[in-house]
Amino acid sequence: MNLYSTKTIRQLKEKYGFRFAKGLGQNFLTDPSVPEAMIAGSQIGPEDLVIEIGPGIGVLTAAAAEAAGRVVAIEVDERLLPILGETLQEYDNIEIICADVLKTDLREIIETQKTKYQITGDVRIIGNLPYYITTPIIMKLLEEELPVKTITVMMQKEVADRIESGPGSKAYGAISVAVQYYAEVSRIVSVPKEVFLPSPKVDSAVLLLELRETRAVQPLDETQFFACVRAGFGQRRKTLSNALCGAGKIPKETVREALSAAGIDESRRAETLSIEEFARIADELTTREGSEWKKTETN
């Protein structure tokens, strides 16, 4: 069965009485070169365990099952289960879990699978993400510090641009810093909207996130670091010292001292700061009285 053919997708829809749920971000891929690029870019090996988010009718699932030792796919829409039962019937190394990925204990799934199937390779996450929850999914995967080697995910092109950007770029923001803190980011492929059924309004891109063994920086206090990042980008047009004072309710003098000690000009804006500079500012604040961000509403 050619799962990439629009004719097959339409036949499956008719056979199972399935209708696309727009609210679930259901845009199915019709171009085999994209899963091929995702699998190759993730360097999935025969001993690896792959966790897929949102299998749809199973195009990426099948491609992953060809390359990996085992695949667990998490799909929230139970109407897709009988379809997946048919489209993936030739594979004996796939398990589908019907659940909302945001409410799923991924660590437990990984541990259970590793023990039960004696997985000796790496754990890799892949997915053509439902666009309405792209950022919460990515942040969940990173913040839970899962024992995962790579995360290869497709998302709206604009979100990929933001995640990839560095200082000085308009697209650079809190999400760029947050993701780059945990992972090295690279683009695997850009994907035009025309290769989906139904076609979404925007183009897409696939990013490879290679999880760092140690974070990009090691702030004294992670909460303080992220509070600074959020405060800085929360008021992008303000100078750094005003943004930090305003959001953190930290006395201006304390902010000034901290910026000066960190060697950062107080008139700079967050979008010009590297991750290392954010960490330096956060550390200088952490060591000063009266800069307890944790107690303010910015967190």
List interacting residues with ligand SAM (CB under 6 A). 24-29, 53-56, 59-60, 74-77, 100-102, 128, 130, 133
Comparison of 196 and 278: residue with beta carbon closer to ligand SAM: 196
Cα separation of the two ends of the chain: 50
Closest chain position to ligand SAM (CB):
54
Q: Minimum CB separation from ligand SAM for residue 58, in Å?
A: 7
Is there a contact between 93 and 121 (Cβ–Cβ < 8 Å)? no
Query: Which residue type sits at 124?
Result: R
Is there a contact between 252 and 291 (Cβ–Cβ < 8 Å)? no
Q: Minimum CB separation from ligand SAM for residue 186, in Å?
A: 20
Is there a contact between 189 and 238 (Cβ–Cβ < 8 Å)? no
Q: Which helix (H) or strand (E) holds 140?
A: helix 134-143
Q: Minimum CB separation from ligand SAM for residue 247, in Å?
A: 31
| Angle of helix 174-182 versus helix 222-234 axis, rounded to 10 | 150
Q: Minimum CB separation from ligand SAM for residue 3, in Å?
A: 8
Comparison of 56 and 219: residue with beta carbon closer to ligand SAM: 56
C-alpha to C-alpha distance for 139 and 119, rounded to whole angstroms: 25
Comparison of 26 and 254: residue with beta carbon closer to ligand SAM: 26
Query: From the CB of residue 91, how many other CB atoms can be counted at a distance below 10 Å?
Result: 14
Angstrom distances, CA of residue 157 to CA of 69, 160, 166, 236? 30, 5, 16, 22
Q: Minimum CB separation from ligand SAM for residue 61, in Å?
A: 7
Per the structure block, which two tokens stand in for 167? 């200082």
Q: Minimum CB separation from ligand SAM for residue 27, in Å?
A: 5
Outline where DSSP puts E strands in 46-98: 49-53, 70-75, 94-98
Comparison of 32 and 167: residue with beta carbon closer to ligand SAM: 32
Comparison of 72 and 101: residue with beta carbon closer to ligand SAM: 101
Comparison of 53 and 262: residue with beta carbon closer to ligand SAM: 53
